Amino acid sequence: MSRIVFVNGAFVPFEQASIPIMDRGFLFADGIYEVSAVLNSRLVDNDAHLARLERSLAEIRIPNPYTREEWTRLEEELVRRNGLVEGVVYMEVTRGAAERDFAFPKDATPTVVMFTQAKVISRAPAAETGVAVISVPDLRWKRRDIKSVALLAQVLAKQAAAEAGVAEAWMVEDGHVTEGSSSTAFIITRDGRIVTRPLSNAILPGITRRAVMRLAAENGLVVEERLFTLDEAYGAAEAFYTSASAFVMPVVEIDGRAVGAGKPGPLTRRLRELYLAMAGATAEAA
């Protein structure tokens, strides 16, 4: 079965999908995106992802082409047409195609592209062993709260990680960890406090971050939103990152130094289990 994608109002075979070279997403990265996980063929925490998509569009003043219900139906249809059981749905909206000029065009129609990617998330082997990360300078712009498709700094960060043979790069600014190139960074202190950076323009408001923080609080765990340094991360008892496409991923090494015992820690494992239970539960109830 050929992969079916969604482009500007139509479901089409992947090979036939195209967008104009004057699309502003291509020329200026003038667009935003969103990624929702799919587990058991159901979308996970999708309303929160769509709320963030709405906000990203509003922040850069691209009209939202669909209501939340329409987005949801399109995603579900794409999952169904591709027979996707586990993976992600990718959605992108750009300001559309127009003669090249920096300022907004007067009459462009937003471009909408959606596709699915199959991926093993719930039983990812890396979640059993934990992964290594490296630190890199955070080279990004000042509106990281918008899920912009301008991802060059993250591309370079992830490539540095790939060349170092590790899974992710944690970005550092003014001595503090901001976040991963495509994930939210967490550490757990030796007295069991779960620490992550507070929301601001400096990081993306992670949807998985929010769910994990809620699950932690509901289960009597202490969550502290504050800045943390790379040195504190090196000396942490546990570390992990979260994202829609990884859920809760244990980090066992940072810049070549073992974190804690050098294997996934008990609180991280518990949070992953809690998240999986929640994702499975809401996925089934959807």
Q: What is the 8-class DSSP label of residue 150?
A: -
**Helix, strand and coil in the chain, % to nearest 5:** 30, 30, 40
Q: What is the 8-class DSSP label of residue 17?
A: -
Residue 243 in the binding site for ligand PLP (CB under 6 A): yes
Number of residues counted as binding ligand PLP (CB under 6 A): 13
Distances (CA, A) of 50 to 117, 129, 149: 18, 32, 16
Which 182-221 positions form the footprint of ligand PLP (CB under 6 A)? 182-184, 204, 206-209
Residue pair 196/176 in contact (Cβ under 8 Å)? The answer is no
Which 110-169 positions form the footprint of ligand PLP (CB under 6 A)? none
Closest contact distance (angstroms) between CB of 35 and ligand PLP is 6
| Separation of alpha carbons 52 and 57, rounded Å | 9
Residue 30 in the binding site for ligand PLP (CB under 6 A): no
Phi first, then psi: give them for residue 203, nearest 5 degrees: -140, 160
Closest contact distance (angstroms) between CB of 186 and ligand PLP is 11
Closest contact distance (angstroms) between CB of 154 and ligand PLP is 6
Q: Which is nearer to ligand PLP, 96 or 180 (CB)?
A: 180
Instruction: Assess whether 142 carries a catalytic annotation.
Output: no
Q: Which is nearer to ligand PLP, 97 or 202 (CB)?
A: 202
Closest contact distance (angstroms) between CB of 88 and ligand PLP is 9
Distances (CA, A) of 127 to 77, 211, 269, 274: 30, 18, 9, 14
Q: Which is nearer to ligand PLP, 4 or 216 (CB)?
A: 216
Q: Which is nearer to ligand PLP, 94 or 184 (CB)?
A: 184
- Which member of 106, 142, 147, 158 is catalytic? 147
Q: Which is nearer to ligand PLP, 167 or 244 (CB)?
A: 244
The identity of residue 32, as a single letter, is: I
| Separation of alpha carbons 208 and 196, rounded Å | 12
Closest contact distance (angstroms) between CB of 156 and ligand PLP is 13
- Rounded to the nearest angstrom, the gap between the alpha carbon of residue 19 and the centroid of all alpha carbons in its chain is 24
Tokens of 189: 């202190």
Binder of ligand PLP out of 111, 116, 148, 242 (CB under 6 A): 242
- Residues making contact with ligand PLP (CB under 6 A): 35, 179, 182-184, 204, 206-209, 242-244
List active site positions: 147
